[in-house]
Amino acid sequence: MTSPVNYTLTDEIGVITVDNPPVNALSHAVRQGLMDALDQADKDASRAILIVCEGRTFIAGADISEFGKPMQEPSLPEIVNRIEATAKPVVAAIHGTALGGGFEVALGAHYRCAVATAKVGLPEVKLGLLPGAGGTQRTPRLAGVEAALELMTSGAPIAAARAVAVGLIDRIVDGDVREGGMAWVQELLAEGAGPRRTSEQPVPDHEAAVFDGARALLAKKARGQVAPQAIVDCVEAAATRSFAEGLQVERENFIKLMNGEQSAALRHFFFAERQAAKVDGLAPDTGTRPVESVGIIGGGTMGGGIAMSFANAGIPVTLIEISDEALERGLSIIDRNYAGSVKRGKLSEDKAAACRALISGATDYAALSDVDMVIEAVFEDPNLKKEIFKKLDGVCKAGAILATHTSYQDVDAIAAATSRPADVVGTHFFSPAHIMKLLEVVRGAKTADDVLATCMQLAKRIRKVPVVSGVCYGFIGNRMLQPYGQQTQLLLLEGATPEQVDGAMEKWGMAMGPLRVFDLAGLDVGYKAREALSDEEKGDPATYRVPDLLVEAERLGQKSGAGFYTYDENRRPNPDPAVHEIIRNAAAELGIEQRTISDEEIVNRLIGALVSEGRKILDEGIAQRSGDIDVVYVYGYGFPAWRGGPMFYGEAASL
């Protein structure tokens, strides 16, 4: 088998080329190939060494698929130290994304150059790990403690220009990365440059208190996560101990994290997210339809956010509303959202203006006669939605995709309202739609393969993570939320307080506890939905008695200043003894005895409710695979990725 690493001697330069598609991951074969190439360069007439990669990117890290298996020699730390120890100057030439172990290889080199479009990063924290091949020791020596901590605890890559500014990259080269790299090596040789070992450089001056400051900040920002704290320990070791001792601290922490639950969960999630983009039974070469213009029906909060998602991806949008006033209101929501993004520094003024300019409004459906796709986003009235699809059937061109943004409704029934059910699909966005990454793509019984393939591809284009769902009430996410909500109500009646339930779930890692979520969504939404149901359809009164009583007491949630909590002017929730009393009375009325409930029981019952409904969803084939459900809950419902998602956690905790 040919090695994915090639070595040539060109113009007295030993050129090491890595070619291991798709992202030049540091598999065992690549590591062995690097070691062999370094041995060759040691022995031959080369005066310097250039490390460069084929394909779309420089090395994007260790091969994550090898984790959890017995490690094969040579190890990555060994190779990086070997590169640094080389007696000839070693230059790394970077294009694409040099990430994790890939960037550590470059940090082991004596000089680094990159094309302007390149990015570098140490995203190991996103896998519950830390840079385990010297990155925690070399990065602070080059970039200083603060920049190193930011790079490793955020895990976010930085652009080449920023990397030059903080000292991680020496030079930007123009044109082809290999040619640019070769030319620079020639220049270095002409200047008589020799090896320059980062391990021999001191860590620049810094405030000693920076480490405790980072620990406190991360305890809030990365609540419950162990890897960020371990990174701070390693960088502190870099600043206070010898390089060799620092490497030892790094190794010990790396092995501990690698064998830990959080990294196993995050590694599962890494692949689950990539797997979710694949649709079983859909041929990889299934064609797609062009989507270069979109219509949105309904300029409410969701319609406005969906319009922004497309405009932000450069796709022109026509927003349809029933009247000029309603249209004005819808467009002003969008203006406010863009102003907010500029204020928070998420978008530049120019970019926001350019995106906003792609959104126009109309009140006549005729404006949609030539668009490639329409997304209906009006409120959850099935008859209104069917009426709208009948109208769209009449005005939209042949081949236009007709999508409904519904959170619950029967997509097949909506499709049946048209003469072209094959063009109908569900696209369930999450609020706020211009921010939340999740998109449930609901495959109707008659949805055409190319319509599905188009939506999966389009999701990436508008920076969403797509997950395919079959048709059922509430699809994947909201269907599972129902038993989760019902179990929450039972826990309250049995003796837990709203703040205890939310506290237990947030301490466990949920972004927000269930009662705060219900108050945010508005308790009247569920109340109105229940009003349309018979007692039999509503099920066990214990699962909705308290929310009904709160609504009847005009406690609708955050929007009315009170729900399960009262809310101050900064929308902070405050426990309310009046709610405790309403719950106690309801329990007495329903004959439910109250008792002390542990946080552990709360977590197990609520996550257990998600898991058991998730299993039914898998059995029914509504979700393709359990990893998809994990992706839905992490990107749509604030489930902690470092727990892997409900199905992964359920398996690990035998729920």
Cis peptide before 498 (omega within 30 of 0): no
Q: What share of the chain is helix, strand, coil (3-state, %, to 5)?
A: 50, 15, 35
Using the minimum distance from each CB to ligand T1G, give the nearer residue, 463 or 616: 463
| CA distances to 118, 188, 485, 588, 591 from 594, in Å | 60, 77, 19, 9, 10
- We find the least distance from the C-beta atom of residue 239 to ligand T1G, in angstroms, to be 20
Using the minimum distance from each CB to ligand T1G, give the nearer residue, 8 or 275: 275
- We find the least distance from the C-beta atom of residue 126 to ligand T1G, in angstroms, to be 6
- We find the least distance from the C-beta atom of residue 100 to ligand T1G, in angstroms, to be 3
- We find the least distance from the C-beta atom of residue 599 to ligand T1G, in angstroms, to be 33
Instruction: Compute how many residues bind ligand T1G; rule: CB under 6 A.
Output: 24
Examine residue 462 and tell whether it contacts ligand T1G (CB under 6 A).
no
Query: Which one of the listed residues 124, 494, 499, 613 is annotated catalytic?
Result: 124
Using DSSP bridges, classify how beta strands 90-94 and 48-53 pair: parallel, antiparallel or unpaired: parallel
Examine residue 100 and tell whether it contacts ligand T1G (CB under 6 A).
yes
Q: What value, to the nearest 5°, has the Cα angle with vertex 348 and ends 342 and 349?
A: 75
Find the binding residues for ligand T1G in span 273-312 (CB under 6 A): 274
Q: What are phi and psi for residue 11, nearest 5 degrees?
A: 50, 50
Using the minimum distance from each CB to ligand T1G, give the nearer residue, 129 or 556: 129
- Among the listed ranges 1-9, 19-27, 573-581, 614-622, the one in contact with ligand T1G (CB under 6 A) is 19-27
Using the minimum distance from each CB to ligand T1G, give the nearer residue, 69 or 344: 69
Among 76, 169, 523, 622, indicate the residue that binds ligand T1G (CB under 6 A): 76
Report the candidate in 313, 354, 654, 308 with the shortest Cα–Cα distance to residue 460.
Answer: 313
Q: Which amino acid is at 133?
A: A
Using the minimum distance from each CB to ligand T1G, give the nearer residue, 61 or 547: 61
Among 4, 14, 33, 101, indicate the residue that binds ligand T1G (CB under 6 A): 101
Find the binding residues for ligand T1G in span 391-430 (CB under 6 A): none
Q: Which amino acid is at 64?
A: I
Rg (CA), the chain: 28
Using DSSP bridges, classify how beta strands 424-429 and 438-442 pair: parallel, antiparallel or unpaired: antiparallel
Report the candidate in 521, 432, 428 with the shortest Cα–Cα distance to residue 475.
Answer: 428
- We find the least distance from the C-beta atom of residue 625 to ligand T1G, in angstroms, to be 13
Query: Which one of the listed residues 73, 78, 104, 581 is annotated catalytic?
Result: 104
- We find the least distance from the C-beta atom of residue 580 to ligand T1G, in angstroms, to be 46
Among 24, 97, 469, 500, indicate the residue that binds ligand T1G (CB under 6 A): 97
Yes or no: say if 462 and 309 are a contact pair by the CB < 8 Å rule: yes
C-alpha span between 375 and 534 (Å, rounded): 32
C-alpha span between 144 and 159 (Å, rounded): 17
Find the binding residues for ligand T1G in span 48-67 (CB under 6 A): 60-65
C-alpha span between 160 and 147 (Å, rounded): 14
Examine residue 127 and tell whether it contacts ligand T1G (CB under 6 A).
yes
Examine residue 133 and tell whether it contacts ligand T1G (CB under 6 A).
yes
C-alpha span between 207 and 213 (Å, rounded): 10
Find the binding residues for ligand T1G in span 250-269 (CB under 6 A): none
Beta bridge pairs of residue 91: 50, 111
Examine residue 151 and tell whether it contacts ligand T1G (CB under 6 A).
no
Examine residue 108 and tell whether it contacts ligand T1G (CB under 6 A).
no
Find the binding residues for ligand T1G in span 21-50 (CB under 6 A): 22-23, 25
Using the minimum distance from each CB to ligand T1G, give the nearer residue, 132 or 547: 132
Among 58, 94, 98, 104, indicate the residue that binds ligand T1G (CB under 6 A): 104
- We find the least distance from the C-beta atom of residue 389 to ligand T1G, in angstroms, to be 34
C-alpha span between 555 and 576 (Å, rounded): 12
- Among the listed ranges 38-46, 127-135, 237-245, 478-486, the one in contact with ligand T1G (CB under 6 A) is 127-135
- We find the least distance from the C-beta atom of residue 7 to ligand T1G, in angstroms, to be 23
Residue 20 CB neighbour total at 10 angstroms = 21
Length of the chain measured in residues: 655
104 labelled catalytic:
yes
124 labelled catalytic:
yes
C-alpha span between 548 and 495 (Å, rounded): 18
- We find the least distance from the C-beta atom of residue 21 to ligand T1G, in angstroms, to be 8
Examine residue 123 and tell whether it contacts ligand T1G (CB under 6 A).
yes
Yes or no: say if 83 and 90 are a contact pair by the CB < 8 Å rule: yes
| CA distances to 304, 333, 432 from 467, in Å | 22, 28, 18
Beta bridge pairs of residue 15: 8, 50
Q: Which amino acid is at 326?
A: A
Examine residue 228 and tell whether it contacts ligand T1G (CB under 6 A).
no
Find the binding residues for ligand T1G in span 607-626 (CB under 6 A): none
| CA distances to 430, 574, 635, 641 from 272, in Å | 20, 37, 12, 11
- Among the listed ranges 119-127, 407-415, 494-502, 610-618, the one in contact with ligand T1G (CB under 6 A) is 119-127
C-alpha span between 130 and 383 (Å, rounded): 53
Yes or no: say if 185 and 50 are a contact pair by the CB < 8 Å rule: yes
Query: Which positions are catalytic?
Result: 104, 124
**Interaction site with ligand T1G (CB under 6 A):** 22-23, 25, 60-65, 76, 97, 99-101, 104, 123-124, 127, 129, 131-133, 135, 274
